[in-house]
Amino acid sequence: MNLREKLRAIDTVDDREETDSYSLAVRLGASPQKLPGGTLFRRRRSLSPGYRHGGVCLPSLQPAGGLAYLIGRIPGIRPEDVLFLDTETTGLSSGPGTYVFLVGLGYVDGGKFHVDQIFLPGPHAEAAFLTALEEALRPFRILITFNGKCFDWNLLTTRFILNRRLPPEAGCHLDLLYPARRIFGASLSSCSLGELERSVLSFRRQGDVPGELIPHLYFRFLRDGHVEALPAVLDHNLLDILSLAALFGRICDLLTGRDDPSPAQALGVAHYHERRGQLESALRLYLRAAAPTMPDDYRVQALRYASLACKRTGRWREADALWTELCDQRPEDPFAYVERAKYYEHRLREFRQALDVVERALATCQLTPKGRAELQHRRRRLLGRLAHKPSLA
Amino acid sequence: MNLEQILDRLREDPSFMANVTHWEVVPPRRAKYGPFPKSLHPLLRPALQEKGIENLYVHQSQAVEEALAGRDVVVVTPTASGKTLCYNLPVLSRILREGEARALYLFPTKALAQDQLAELRGLIDTIGADVKVHTYDGDTPPDARKVIRTAGHIVVTNPDMLHTAILPHHTKWVKLFENLRYVVIDELHSYRGVFGSHMANVLRRLRRICRFYGSDPVYICCSATIANPAELAARLIGRPVRLVDENGAPSGEKHFIFYNPPVVNEQLGIRRSSLLEARGIASRLLRNGIQTIVFARTRLSVEVLVTYLKEALAQVGQSSTVRGYRGGYLPRERRDIERALRDGSVRGVVSTSALELGIDIGRLEACVMLGYPGSIASTWQRAGRAGRSTGVSAVFLVASSSPLDQYIITHPEYFFGSSVENGLINPDNLYILMNHLKCAAFELPFEEGEEFGVSTTEEILSYLEEKGLIHRVQGRWYWMADAFPAEEISLRSASAENFVVIDITEKPRVIGEVDRISAPLLLHEEAIYIHESVQYQVETLDYEEKKAYVRRVKVDYYTDASLAVDLQVLEVLQEGARGLSATGYGEVLVRSKPTMFKKIKLYTHENLGSGPIHLPEEQMHTEAYWLSLDESPWRSHVRSQIEAGLLGLANLLANIAPLYLMCDRGDLETVVQVRAPFTGRPTIFLYDRYPGGVGLAEKMFQVDEQVLRCAQDLVGSCSCADGCPSCTGPANEVGPGAKDMARAVLDTLLGGTM
């Protein structure tokens, strides 16, 4: 053997890498995937057809109805077209120094809910990691995340650019944070996924890794090869995906009327109905939101929306009743006075009554200079009209 | 009367001339032109002609030529010599030829960046080209940012923004970095000392990112007159640059008049207030319609002077033509004043150093400086505000009674004979370098063998790996920590958090801002805060929330607060001995606390009484070097002699140390204690003015032998009688005998004269 061969014989780097990746795969319950630019690890979990998470049967998610409210009608959309995505990262700051080391992908296929996880064994293998991710994203038409617009997707885009690659198109990206805030925000102190999981899905995690520890567990793995804590990190991500999908299911049920929204949820749900032009059901939901058990501010808001929905559907009498109630509830708020004044002046042509309302508003409401000027203008006009039609006064 | 007639009158006025210590006439200079570079885009010349520019001055022509040829260049330009064309022309020329080309303009402050827009957009409009120019700073609205990142041809920003917002998010700026052709660094001379050392490292990071995206921009730097512009530029950008310093801009005759207020009390040596004298000179100029800028050293004197001058001009019904200008004014107010100065509707402006830098206010006829600005370079910079290309201009330096002012005013040869100051930086200061290395690693992984300014890059990276911030694998170093390092370092010593001043006379509204350092002195409760010469009294100061609530008042006094500074050693990091004297460096706590304020009557300046200030003290942890002297040789000396000697020696060290520490005079501060609680002996402390310290004290500890020897040389060779600003300081500041005492101390320390 010459020296070169001798060296090659003792130099076991390649071998070691293979044993390492073998033991890592075993510990993670994942399988290595070798791609140009490195080796990454994939773990796949498939849930049984009847699997329920937070009271939602994930394999039978029917996204079309809910999506129609959330992003508009998508022709030919099937449950298999939707991908739920969540990442684990080395930090919360966005920027090129934060790495995505785990991506969880949830989807329905063949009547089952599957979660595919791609794990990055070290920053050197990122090129391969991104290739695998790009590949995995391809079959889907809709991407659903939680706070992904600001965070996960943003960070993944950064990773692609840093690897001098074109970031994949997000296609249709639905960030559930916004609808969740709208629908559940009124009854919750925070709208984090964890809080939603507890209160909306009534799901309690057991033995879960706290999210803020996750970067450090990954750093320790990189530094010292500590694999022990990693399966728990993968499980944490798995639960995030399940909760994300279940939350989506709950939102769909509320939007499509499969579930009745509580008064606290009704205002948010109504908003989506109104946006789709379903004024009748929106009105019903606004009225439900105005339940006497609800806090005052919330009720007032619901009443305002309800009154406007009445107005737009020509239910003037109901609208007037709501405005009267609003004037009682919020004597300092000019909104209902102005609406009533318009109604009396332009529809009923009851100038005297309209003037009455305007005078009351000027006396009791807190007005901006602009609001005051407008009311005074209206008052002058009404006085003019009354002067021309003294007989009707 | 025109200015010439006024100057003639003054020259014939014995009572005025009795106070003039020097009258320098700088002769007029004719314009010197250079050719339009051939490679300049053909649309630019007609556009310039349309704006009335037929020729380029020789410095413009040379700078444009160099920049177009792809060579880094630094142009040294006096105030208002058309420096902006030196960079706008090559940049626009390139963008006109290459639509995707990008340029980055860096100005030391937000205000200067804003100022650039108007002029640049004017030129672009004349050309009729689709070149997009945007400022990108803390005030840029979030929805505009996205557009600027991808579509802005020229992005105008400041170093702090580059450091925290652009470089650490470079993936959002791909278009800019891929196509970056020019980097413009204006006001180069302001990047001195620690700030400059930070800047050099920010530029190292910029270079790395450009390399990653495959661009290699040309640097165009502009500097006011300093002793070493080419050296400073090269240190900052990390490679040699061409120097263009032949000024081709014409200037009319300039009169530089040194004025020392007359002594009003012979026995006490009290002079008439420089503020009142400056008022006299300025109102004389303004009443004759001479457009005049007055520089004052503090915000307070700015406001007091504006009040006085408005009053003086009220008699001729022109009080509205005088405005104040200083840092605390809101941006829109400042833009208004700048515009009004350019179009001539404002005839007089009283400013702090805020207008010393290159904000475009046109050129005025006269400049009155209330007090010596502190350095030769900035005096010339301010003087440059007066002077048009033709016609006479005048600069009046009115000395205050401070010892430094008195020295300068009575030694005009010192001012006219000395060269301007050097701009020194030390980009390899380990503390600064390491912090930026972290940022750099966050921004892009380090390749094996890659150098970041120093050959020891790898060692520092290994250290950061041990600290668990960086992960090394397969020959690359990756940032691996849950942190955003750029947020952990600030490029400047003063924190950016300002105090807001809220007028609650009617509907509450914000009328101004005051920086953190000055706030305790200007916004303590009962203080009279003057803004645009309107008086307000501070009712409450919410120190936590950094808000001062003020109410409009009309009183016949203003307030002046005093500050007590104390230094305490917390931990000794290293000690040494020098004979029986001791040296050391370590962590210290510098505490400053406003103690009381005086009410001073307007016009007469008599003291109307005083009051206590109840505010928490400001604390700064930093590092200090100290020299504590063996007392035995000085037993027979009285305390005041020892104190004078200490102050003298402290001044010497503060003057010399920056040369060895490669920092700016302003980066260091001294404190002397005749009997220091920590050492029990006469002690001089030299401390780092940056919270936490940036290693200046440690470096001083290592090189103190050289600094002390240099001090010994200097004090021995300085020809002054008993101290001057270049050595131990003016005698009437540090006390008589300071120079001899300092010399004796040095001789004892170093063992005799050489």
- Radius of gyration for chain B, computed over Cα atoms and rounded to the nearest angstrom: 27
Residue B616 DSSP label: P
Q: Indicate yes or no: CB of B476 within 8 angstroms of CB of A123.
A: yes
**pLDDT, tens digit (0-9, with 9 covering 90-100), for B79-116:** 778 889 999 999 999 999 999 999 999 998 777 777 77
Cβ contacts of B482 on chain A, cutoff 8 Å: 90-93, 215-216
Confidence of residue B754 (pLDDT cuts 50, 70, 90): very low
B301, pLDDT greater than 90: no
Instruction: Please state, for a pLDDT cut of 90, what percent of chain B lies above it.
Output: 48
Q: How confident is the model at residue B154, as a pLDDT?
A: 96
Is residue A234 one of the residues assigned to a domain? Answer: yes
**Domain final residue, candidates A234, A256, A278:** A256
Rg (C-alpha) for chain A, rounded Å, is 29
Q: How many residues does chain A have?
A: 393
List the structure tokens of B478.
Answer: 């990756």
Residue of B nearest to A219 (CA): B480
Least confident range from B407-416, B475-484, B582-591: namely B407-416
Contacts with A122 from chain B: Cβ below 8 Å: 471, 473
Q: Does domain B33-244 have CATH number 1.10.1330.10?
A: no
Say if A296 falls within a structural domain: no
CA distance A124 to chain B (A): 7
Would strands B476-479 and B509-515 be described as parallel, antiparallel, or unpaired?
unpaired
Contact B86, B131 (CB under 8 A): no
pLDDT of amino acid B425:
86
Q: Which residues of A touch B468 (CB under 8 A)?
A: 219, 223
CA dihedral B400, B403, B404, B406 (to 10 degrees): 60
Chain B contact set for A91 (CB, 8 A): 481-484
CATH number at residue A44: 3.30.420.10
Residues A347-380 as b/e (b if ≥16 CB within 10 A, e otherwise) read eeeebebbbebbeebbeebebeeebeeebeebbe
Token look-up 């048009």 returns B388
Asked if residue B753 has pLDDT above 60, the reply is no
Model pLDDT for residues A153-193, shown as the tens digit of each residue: 999 999 999 999 999 887 799 999 999 999 999 888 888 99
For A237, list phi and psi in degrees, rounded to 5: -65, -40
Contact between chains at A97 and B443 (C-beta distance less than 8 A):
yes
| Residue A169 sits in the same domain as residue A70 | yes
Segment holding B342, helix H or strand E: helix B331-342
**Residues A126 and A238 occupy one common structural domain:** yes
Chain A residues with CB under 8 Å of B444 CB are 96, 162
Tell me if A270 is assigned to some domain.
Answer: no
Rounded to 10 deg, the angle between the B274-287 and B3-11 helix axes is: 130
**Strands B498-503 and B476-479, bridge-based pairing:** unpaired
> Is residue B219 a contact partner of residue B85, using CB atoms and an 8 Å limit?
no
- What per-residue confidence (pLDDT) applies to A4? 57
B485 touches chain A (CB under 8 A): yes
* Residue-level pLDDT at A298: 93
pLDDT tens per residue across span A298-319: 999 999 999 999 999 999 999 9
Q: Rounded CA gap, B670 and B456, in Å?
A: 33
Sign of CA dihedral B88, B92, B94, B98: positive
Dihedral sign, Cα of residue A347, residue A348, residue A349, residue A352:
negative
**A326 found inside a domain:** no
- For residues B120 and B111, what is the distance between their CA atoms, to the nearest angstrom? 15
Confidence of residue A23 (pLDDT cuts 50, 70, 90): confident
How far B153 CA lies from chain A's nearest CA (Å)?
21
pLDDT (mean) for A45-49: 93
Q: Which long-range contacts (CB under 8 A, 24 or more apart) does B521-527 make?
A: B521/B561, B521/B563, B521/B594, B522/B299, B522/B300, B522/B561, B523/B499, B523/B548, B524/B561, B524/B594, B524/B597, B524/B613, B524/B615, B525/B613, B525/B614, B526/B559, B526/B597, B526/B611, B527/B559, B527/B561, B527/B597
* Six-digit token string for A377: 């203008």
Q: Whole-angstrom Cα distance, residue A245 to residue A251?
A: 10
Q: Which two tokens stand for residue B287?
A: 């009443």
Q: Which of A231, A256, A281 is the last residue of a domain?
A: A256
Digit-coded pLDDT (tens) for A111-154: 999 999 999 999 999 999 999 999 999 999 999 999 999 999 99
What's the distance, CA B569 to chain centroid?
29
Q: Are residues A338 and A251 in the same domain?
A: no
Specify the fold of B3-27+251-417: Rossmann fold (3.40.50)
- Model ipTM value: 0.85
A56 and A139 share one domain: yes
Tell me the residue range of the domain where A246 lies: 11-256
- Domain borders along chain B are 3-27+251-417, 33-244, 430-488, 498-555, 567-589+620-750
Structure token digits, residue B185: 């660094």
Cross-strand partners of B205: none
pLDDT of residue A71: 92
Chain mean pLDDT for chain B: 88
**What per-residue confidence (pLDDT) applies to A13?**
44
Q: What tens digit of pLDDT does each residue of B577-625 get?
A: 888 889 999 989 888 888 899 888 877 777 888 889 988 888 888 899 9
Handedness of CA A383, A385, A390, A392 (dihedral sign): negative
Which residues in A lie closer than 8 A to residue B441 (C-beta atoms)? Answer: 97
The pLDDT score that the predictor gives to residue B254 is: 92
Highest mean predicted confidence (pLDDT) among A112-116, B315-319, B481-485: A112-116
Q: What is the pLDDT of residue B266?
A: 64
Provide the number of structural domains found in chain A.
2
SS3 call for B515: strand
The answer to whether B481 contacts chain A (CB < 8 Å) is yes
- What confidence score (pLDDT) does residue B113 get? 78
Q: Is the pLDDT of residue B512 over 80?
A: no
Is the pLDDT at B360 greater than 80? The verdict is: no
Mutate to test the interface with B, among A16, A156, A159, A222 (most CBs of B within 10 A): A222
pLDDT of A5 reads 62
Contact A90 B468 (CB under 8 A): no
Per-residue confidence at A393, pLDDT binned at 50, 70, 90?
very low
pLDDT of B125 higher than 90 = yes
Kindly state whether residue A220 falls inside one of the protein's structural domains.
yes
Between CA A343 and CA A319 the distance in angstroms is 9
Question: For position A8, what pLDDT does the model report?
Answer: 55
CA–CA gap between residue B32 and residue B53 (Å, rounded): 14
**Could you tell me if residue A267 is inside a domain?**
no
Tokens of B369: 């400086």
Cβ contact, residue pair B476, A124, below 8 Å: yes
Residue B403's pLDDT is what? 65
3-state secondary structure B19-47: CEEEEEEECCECCCEECCCCCCCCCHHHH
Q: Higher-confidence residue: B423 or B685?
A: B685
Listed residues A256, A284, A317: the one ending a domain? A256
Give Cα A230 distance to the centre of its chain. Answer: 28
In a domain, A116, yes or no: yes
Joined tokens for residue B293: 């800028």
The CB-side HSE value for A316 (13 A sphere, CA atoms) comes to: 9
**pLDDT tens digits along A316-364:** 999 999 999 999 989 999 999 999 999 999 999 999 999 999 999 999 9
Same domain for A245 and A343: no
Cα separation, B579 vs B52, in Å, equals 70
- Let me know if the fold of B3-27+251-417 is the same as that of B33-244: yes
* Distance (Å, whole) CA A174 – CA A146: 8
- What is the per-residue pLDDT for A15? 45
- Give me the residue label for tokens 């827009």: B117
Give residues with Cβ within 8 angstroms of A38, minimum separation 6: A121, A124, A125, A126, A127, A128, A129
Angle formed by the axes of helices A334-342 and A351-364, to 10°? Answer: 170
d(CA B53, CA B84): 13
Its sign, for the CA torsion B336, B339, B344, B347, is: positive
3-class state of residue B12 by DSSP: coil
Phi, psi dihedral angles at B191 (to 5 degrees): -90, 70
User: Which residue, among A130, A161, A226, would best test binding to B if mutated, counting the most B CBs under 10 Å from its CB?
Assistant: A161
Is A24 a domain residue?
Answer: yes
Three-state secondary structure call for residue B283: helix
Task: Give residue A17's pLDDT.
Answer: 53
Contact A123 B170 (CB under 8 A): no
Q: What is the pLDDT of residues A50-68, one digit of tens each?
A: 899 988 999 999 999 999 9
- Please state, in angstroms and rounded to a whole number, the distance separating the CA atoms of residues B168 and A111: 45
Cβ separation of B474 and A215 shorter than 8 Å? no
B28 pairs with which residues across the strands?
A: none
Note whether B150 contacts A: Cβ–Cβ < 8 A.
no
Best CA proximity match to A239, nearest among A279, A210, A261: A210
Taking CA–CA distances from B166, the nearest residue in chain A reads A95
Whether A256 shows a pLDDT value over 70: the answer reads yes
B chain contacts of residue A100, beta-carbon cutoff 8 Å: none
Neighbours of B743 (CB within 10 A): 22
Measure the CA–CA gap between B204 and B436, rounded to whole angstroms. Answer: 9
A321-328 long-range Cβ contacts below 8 angstroms, 24+ apart? A326/A300, A327/A360
DSSP string, B71-98: --EEEE--TTS-HHHHHHHHHHHHHHH-
